[in-house]
Amino acid sequence: MKAAEVEEIQKKPKTRKTKSVEEEHPLEKWLRMDRMPHIWCSTCGIGTAVTCFIEAIKKTTLAREDICVVSGIGCSGRIAGYIKQDSFHTTHGRAIPFAVGLKLANPKLKVVVFSGDGDLSSIGGNHLIHTARRNLDITVLCINNFIYAMTGGQVAPTTPPTAIATTTPYGNYEHPFNLPALAAACGAVYVARWTALHVRRLTNSMAEALQKKGFSFVEIICPCTTLYARKNKLGSGLDLMKFYHDNSVIVNGADPREVDIQFQSEIKVGKFIDVDKPTYLDSYNTYMKTKLGDKFKPYGVTDEERQ
């Protein structure tokens, strides 16, 4: 090769291989693509829930940098690692305490806890009920697949009676949690339940929950193909989706105590609770103002709002 040719090659700017429009998915800007492909099984519904969540953020007027996603441990605990937001992958069951810390340290943030049923309702059950009781302004999105999926399909507090899990080979005999009733009884201001198939309604519900002031709780029924469906001989995740299609009934405003799920029974979905209540920081500020008067400096309020 001639010296002039070598020089010419060296002068040429190195072009990185860029993706054409045909290859780039519109959600790639919102996902950490270096982590893809994700760990979720084929026909798992968690990926659908993530799409709905990103679409919900786009629907709201919230700035992207103001939204934090916190996840615990489990299949759905990986969500924080895949979403390109400020996100935390925390210890088992402690997603809500981390979120409470985030919210109290910087009340401007919109903190979203996106985790599973085992993480939120059993190991982190106490945190769920007390954060709902205090009505702290965070959004909890709970993926419910009726089982501890990542650890091998053990019975979870949400497993319906007679369903088979690894630790209950003859069927489950425990009474399960009814998560919307639990959240509503503890004082959540927004409670809804959708399945992974109701993508449009789930997106709208998530957007409403994100904009709601106070503790908002959305339960997402998700198909688990590898453990729940296989152990119970229900087919694949696609068959579970077909089951949700045929057996879910939309009952907006239903009493949350009546929406419990039995094994392969009708699933009542909808928006159950939407009320207004002062949040934790609001009650703190108003109460301390009455006690301390002008000495008290309200917390989490901008200077403009203070005057």
Partner 1 sequence: MKYWRKPLDADRIKIPEGELHILRERCKGCAFCVEYCPKDVLELSHEFNSKGYHPPIVKNGAICVHCQLCEMLCPEFAIFCVLKNQKEPAHES
Q: Considering only CA atoms, which of 89, 199, 209 is closest in space to residue 141?
A: 209
For partner 1 (CB under 8 A), the number of binding residues is: 32
For residue 220, the 8-state DSSP code is E
Work out how close the CB of 236 gets to partner 1 at its nearest, in angstroms, rounded to a whole number: 8
The answer to the question of residue 59 lying near partner 1 (CB under 8 A) is: no
User: Using the rule CB under 8 A, which residue among 86, 242, 260, 278 binds partner 1?
Assistant: 242
| Residues 176, 181, 185: CA angle, nearest 5 degrees | 125
In the complex, least distance from residue 40 CB atom to partner 1, rounded to whole angstroms: 6
Residue 60 interacting with partner 1 (CB under 8 A): no
Contacting residue, 6, 238, 249, 275, with partner 1 by CB under 8 A: 238
d(CA 194, CA 197): 8
According to CB under 8 A, which residues from 131 to 160 bind partner 1?
Answer: none
Q: Is 45 in the site for partner 1 (CB under 8 A)?
A: yes
| Strands in 27-117 per DSSP E | 67-71, 86-89, 110-116
Q: Could you tell me whether strands 67-71 and 267-274 are parallel, antiparallel, or unpaired per DSSP bridges?
A: unpaired
Q: Which is nearer to partner 1, 23 or 294 (CB)?
A: 23
Residues 6+ apart with CB under 8 A from 25: none
Single out the segment in contact with partner 1 by CB under 8 A; choices: 39-47, 86-94, 139-147, 270-278. Answer: 39-47
Q: How many residues does the chain have?
A: 307
**Token pair of 141, please?**
């999105």
Residue choice 77, 157, 187, 237 for contact with partner 1 (CB under 8 A) = 237
Q: Of residues 35, 175, 200, 257, which one binds partner 1 by CB under 8 A?
A: 200
CA 79, 80, 84, 85 torsion-angle sign: positive
Query: Binding segment for partner 1 among 43-51, 114-122, 164-172, 180-188 (CB under 8 A)?
Result: 43-51
CB of 87 to partner 1, least distance (A): 17
Residue 38 CB, nearest distance to partner 1 (Å)? Answer: 8
**Three-state DSSP state, 233:** coil
Please measure the distance between the N-terminal and C-terminal CA atoms of the chain and give it in whole angstroms: 75
Q: Are 189 and 183 in contact (CB under 8 A)?
A: no
> Does 43 contact partner 1 by CB under 8 A?
yes
Question: In angstroms, what is the minimal distance from the CB of 140 to partner 1?
Answer: 21
Which CA distances in Å does 281 have to 137, 294, 298, 304? 8, 18, 9, 17
Residue whose CB is less far from partner 1, 27 or 62: 27
What stretch of H or E contains 271?
A: strand 267-274
Shorter beta-carbon distance to partner 1: residue 131 or 145 = 145
- Are the CB atoms for 189 and 212 separated by under 8 Å? yes
Which parts of 6-35 interact with partner 1 (CB under 8 A)? 21-23, 25-28, 31
Determine which residue in the list 62, 150, 185, 199 makes contact with partner 1, applying CB under 8 A.
199
Which residues would be at the binding site for partner 1 (CB under 8 A)? 21-23, 25-28, 31, 36-38, 40-48, 51-52, 55, 197, 199-200, 203, 236-238, 241-242
